[in-house]
Amino acid sequence: MDGPEGLFEPLFISDEMDPIVSAHNWVQKMVDVECAIARAQGELGVIPADAANEISRLASTHGLDPTELGRKARDGATPVIPLVQILTDKLPETARPWIHYGATSQDILDTATMLVVKDAIRLIAQDILEIGNLLGLLAERYRLTPMVARTLFQHALPSTFGLKAANWLGGVVSASTSLERFFRNELVVQFGGAGGTLAALDDRGVLVGERVASLLGLSFPAMPWHTQRIRIAELGGALALIVGAVAKIANDIVLAGQAEIGELSESQGLGGGSSALPQKVNPVGSILVNACFRRVQGFLPVLYGCLIAENERGAGGWQAEWPTLRDLISTAETSTKRSAMTLRHLVVDEAAMLRNLELGRGNVMAERVLLRLSEGMGRSAAHELVRDATRRSTKNQSSLIHELNQEAVFRESLSDDERIELFNPLSYLGSAQIFIDNALSQWQSASAGWNIIAGGV
DSSP string, 21-34: HSHHHHHHHHHHHH
- Which residues, at least 6 apart from 255, have a Cβ–Cβ distance to it below 8 Å? 261
CA–CA distances in Å: residue 77 to residues 80, 136, 166, 320: 9, 48, 48, 11
CA–CA distance, 235 with 232 (Å, rounded to integer): 5
Counting every residue written for the chain, the total comes to 457
- C-beta separation of 191 from 208 below 8 A: yes
| Positive/negative CA dihedral, 411, 417, 420, 422 | negative
CA–CA distance, 287 with 329 (Å, rounded to integer): 19
Catalytic residue among 122, 313, 355, 419: 313
Q: For this structure, is 419 an active site residue? A: no
Q: Which helix (H) or strand (E) holds 266?
A: strand 264-266
Tell me the three state secondary structure of residue 257. coil
Tell me the three state secondary structure of residue 320. helix
Rounded to the nearest angstrom, the gap between the alpha carbon of residue 363 and the centroid of all alpha carbons in its chain is 38
- Which residues, at least 6 apart from 87, have a Cβ–Cβ distance to it below 8 Å? 31, 34, 55, 58, 99
Q: For this structure, is 274 an active site residue? A: yes
Which residues are known catalytic residues? 274, 313
